[in-house]
Chains A and B, each alone.
Chain A
Amino acid sequence: MLYLKLAWRNIWRNKRRTFITMLSIIVAVMLSSVMRTMNEGSYEQMIENTVGIFTGYVQIHQKGYWDDKTLENTLVSSDTLFQIIAQTPGITKAVPRIESYALVAGENQSRAAMVIGIDPEKERSLSDPQNRIVTGSYFEDLNERSVLLGTDLVQRLELQVGDSLVMIGQGFRGQSAAGLYEVKGTVRFPNPEMNKSLVMMPLGTAQFFLAAPDRLTGISLIIEDSDDAESVTKILSGYLSSEDYEVMDWKELMPELVQAIESDRGSGLIIIMILYVVVGFGILGTVLMMITERTYEFGVMISVGTSRFAIAMMLAFEVLLMAMAGSLVGIVASYPISYYFHINPIRLSDSGDMAQVIETFGMEPVLQFSLEPSLFYSQAIIIFVITLIFCLIPILKASRLNPVKAMRS
């Protein structure tokens, strides 16, 4: 109590120094947590834009499909398979798809396109095409002979809603595939790559086109909590024959994405480490100065019988109070910033380096900050601990002063 009282009064004694020390802690917490929320926000967005709305966090394929994505490696859709999925805890929905490539053509133009057969109802819980329709309308049943095209693809093919699209490709077991379909609408995804090449068909139509009735390239699973992808994958693998099926979580499905995030996180970490060191030395400086100014006073205190422990305690409380207040204010001050950029993501100029990197991953160059609470308090805790570590030496130094020397200064 006595030490706390002394510490408290000393904090108010030199308001300017206290203010500077606290400000450096506050700014450090703000910089580091805003930076972390920016980075993690962009990763969250990358994952959400690819995995969350397209791939799904977990997929089931015929064994070998992911290595060799051909129609020969498709699985046969069966009620038992869907029953097993339904019984697996943590899974809320199963979204079947058949995917392949085909040449698509309008009257004057042709393109290679990614063809995806979807179940119009079930697909709502994954890519939700109906809500992404720009013009035209959504599929009404599983077998209608129509397609939805990516917005850019439509332009390239010089087509409009209501026109016919010619599709030529190769079906199951090398059978030739050809067909004429009505363009029923256009869809836009946050993934520019998809807008350039996507053709969506109702599942039955696609299976018929590809001469692969009842076959699926994969089943994407919607899970309750995306953090459980790995455990759900494990459980489901246990239920399914590993001879016939492969169950993969998004990290296995998209190792390049995981790697890109990891390496970006790594370089972010280096920058943030530099920040920590700068802040640490800044605080070291102010605390050393404070202790130097008070050397005589410590000399008197030790002379009259104040234990070295008491001196250290008093100073530790001073630093602790400042660090605690600084970290808390830091959190409170950084949250609105991250919140603002969460609501109003930063749109990167298309020519910038960053924008190009992001676009190569098939994503919109937009930075949306994360609001994950742990990002804020972990930074506050780190800065708090760094402050204490950097103050340790000055505090020990002060408590070990030789009283005679201290008082001669």
Chain B
Amino acid sequence: MPTQNGNNMSVIRTEGLTKVYNPDQVPVHALNGVDLTIEKGEFTAIVGPSGSGKTTLLNIIGGLDEPTGGKAFIRGTDISTLSDRELINFRLNHIGFVFQSFNLIPVLTALENVSFIMQMQGRPAKECREKSIELLEEVGLKDKINKRPSELSGGQQQRVAVARALASKPDFVLADEPTANLDSVSTAELLDMMAELNEVEDMTFIFSTHDQRVIDRARRVITLVDGKIDSDEERTVDSG
């Protein structure tokens, strides 16, 4: 049922998500009932003070962590029903990830890092290579495709990570503080690029951040406080 009309459904929907760490010792209530719906094409920032539960929320939505209570649906699929193996496969095919730093496999070149995901999906080698080059061109790294991560700047590495996140043709891209380790120029470049991919390809981005300049670029800002949604505002920003 969910997969048949999956395309009409919200990309992400959560119902009363809760997460308690260390329930037996000193319980930490990281999420306290988060109801959230994210539609295709959103460019949404999750913000909030440190410890408010941003990473926890993104991990649950991304199928990396399990909620203590509540449910998370990705295009109608209740991901808590998936086995570990199914979940890994689900992440591979439906979710793009950009982490704070050290996203890439150090021994692979930019090109190989991007095509790695597609190879894992079992796509033909030629297609992997062509598509990877195309993606790296899109993120502005045409001349760096054969460089290893250690030969790239932090900003360039993050751009490769975005290209990799897109390589699997995911339903959405999750980025937990993608600019935390970048200078302001690289931050702006990365956001320009993400915004463009959002506009042109209608790719859904959800990112957490502390950086006001990044928040300013978001079209929807969800603020978490103590594991609850404190505010949720749609905004208009001048794109480009």
Interface residues of chain A, those whose CB is within 8 Å of chain B, are 2, 6, 9-10, 13, 296-297, 300-308, 310, 403-404, 407
B198: chain A residues within 8 A (beta carbon) = none
Contact A302 B88 (CB under 8 A): yes
Question: Distance (Å) between the CB of B68 and the closest chain A CB?
Answer: 14
Q: Is the beta-carbon distance between A13 and B91 smaller than 8 angstroms? A: no
A13 to B149, CA, bound (A): 13
Pairwise interchain contact B108-A307, C-beta atoms closer than 8 A: no
Could you tell me if A304 and B106 are in contact, using CB atoms closer than 8 angstroms?
Answer: no
The distance in angstroms between the C-alpha atoms of A300 and B99, with both chains bound, is 8
Chain A hits for B105, CB < 8 A: 6, 297, 300-301
Is B228 in the interface zone, CB < 8 Å from A? no
How far apart are B134's CB and chain A's nearest CB, in angstroms?
Answer: 19
- Asked whether any CB of chain A lies closer than 8 Å to the CB of B36, the reply is no
- Could you tell me if B64 and A305 are in contact, using CB atoms closer than 8 angstroms? no
Cβ contact within 8 Å between A404 and B88: no
For A6, list chain B residues within 8 Å (CB). 105, 107-108
Which residues does chain B contribute within 8 Å of A304, judged by CB atoms? 91-92, 97, 117, 164-165
Contact with A along B56-67 (1 / 0, CB 8 A): 000100101100
User: A residues within 8 A CB of B92?
Assistant: 304-306
What is the CA–CA distance of A174 and B153 in the complex, to the nearest angstrom? 105
Q: Does B168 contact A (CB under 8 A)?
A: yes
Given contacts A297-B102, A403-B64, A404-B64, contact A305 B107 (CB under 8 A): no
| Beta-carbon nearest neighbor of A294 in chain B | B106
The 8 Å CB contact of B120, one of A13, A297, A310, is A310
Which of A6, A310, A404 gathers the greatest number of chain B CB atoms within 10 Å? A404
Interface set of B (CB-CB < 8 Å, partner A): 59, 62, 64-65, 84-85, 88-89, 91-93, 95, 97, 99, 102-108, 116-117, 119-120, 164-165, 168
Closest-by-CB residue of A relative to B60 is A404
User: How far in angstroms is the closest Cβ of chain A from B95?
Assistant: 8
User: Can you give 5 A-B contacts (C-beta < 8 A)?
Assistant: A2-B119, A9-B108, A302-B88, A304-B164, A307-B85
CB of B106 within 8 A of CB of A297, answer yes
| Known pairs A306-B120, A307-B85, A308-B88; A300 contacts B93 (CB<8 A) | no
Q: Are A13 and B107 in contact (CB under 8 A)?
A: yes
B108 CB contacts on chain A under 8 angstroms: 6, 9
Chain A residue with Cβ nearest B96: A304
Residues of B within 8 A of A305 (CB): 88-89, 91-93, 95, 117, 120, 168
Chain B: minimal CB distance from A159 (Å): 81
Contacts of A404 in B (CB 8 A): 59, 64-65
Q: How far is the CB of B9 from chain A (nearest CB, A)?
A: 22
Q: When the two chains form their complex, are residues A303 and B64 in contact, meaning their CB atoms are under 8 A apart?
A: yes
Whether B119 pairs with A9 at a CB distance below 8 angstroms is no
Chain B residue with Cβ nearest A309: B85
CB distance from A126 to the nearest CB of B (A): 65
A-B pairs, 8 with minimum CB distance: A305-B92, A9-B107, A305-B91, A404-B65, A404-B64, A304-B97, A403-B64, A10-B107
B100 to chain A, nearest CB (A): 9
A10 to chain B, nearest CB (A): 6
A296 to B104 alpha-carbon distance, docked (Å): 11
**How far apart sit A403 and B117, CA to CA, in the bound complex (Å)?**
17
Query: Please, how many angstroms separate the alpha-carbon atoms of A300 and B107 in the complex?
Result: 14
Nearest residue in B to A307 (C-beta to C-beta)? B88
Check A303/B107 contact, CB under 8 A, given A296-B102, A404-B64, A407-B99.
no
Please measure, in the bound complex, the distance between the C-alpha atom of A9 and the C-alpha atom of B149, giving whole angstroms: 14
Among B88, B91, B103, B104, find the residue whose CB has the most chain A CB atoms closer than 10 A. Answer: B88
Least CB separation from A11: chain B residue = B107
Nearest-CB residue, chain A, relative to B116: A2
**B84 (CB) vs chain A CBs: closest residue:** A308
Do residues A13 and B106 form an inter-chain contact, with CB atoms below 8 A?
A: yes
For A300, the chain B residues whose CB sits under 8 A away are: 99, 102-105
Alpha-carbon distance A302/B84, docked complex (angstroms):
11
What's the nearest-Cβ distance from chain B to residue A169, in Å? 84
Q: How far is the CB of B58 from the nearest CB of chain A, in Å?
A: 10
A303-B102 contact, Cβ under 8 Å, with A310-B120, A404-B64, A404-B65: no
Residues of A close to B64: CB separation below 8 A: 303, 403-404
> How many angstroms between the C-alpha atoms of A179 and B66 in the bound complex?
104
Contact at A303–B97, with CB atoms within 8 Å?
yes
Count chain B CB atoms within 10 A of each CB in A10, A310, A407 and give the residue with the most.
A407
Chain B residue numbers with a CB within 8 Å of A303 are: 62, 64, 91, 97, 99
Task: Report the bound CA distance from A168 to B102 in whole Å.
Answer: 96
**Chain B contacts for A302, CB-based, 8 A:** 88
Contacts of A307 in B (CB 8 A): 85, 88-89, 120
With a cutoff of 8 Å between Cβ atoms, the chain B residues found around residue A296 in the complex are 102
In the assembled complex, how far is the CB of residue B3 from the closest CB belonging to chain A, in whole angstroms? 18
In the assembled complex, which residues on chain B have CB atoms less than 8 Å from the CB atom of A13?
106-107
State the Cβ distance, A321 to closest chain B Cβ, in Å: 14
Chain A min CB distance to B174 (Å): 10
- Beyond A303-B91, A308-B85, 20 additional contacts (C-beta under 8 Å) are A2-B119, A6-B105, A9-B107, A10-B107, A13-B106, A296-B102, A297-B106, A300-B105, A301-B105, A303-B62, A303-B64, A304-B91, A304-B97, A305-B95, A305-B168, A306-B88, A307-B85, A307-B88, A308-B88, A404-B59
The distance in angstroms between the C-alpha atoms of A6 and B107, with both chains bound, is 7
* Bound CA span A1–B61, Å: 33
**B93 / chain A contacts, CB cutoff of 8 Å:** 305
Cα(A10)–Cα(B105), bound, Å: 10
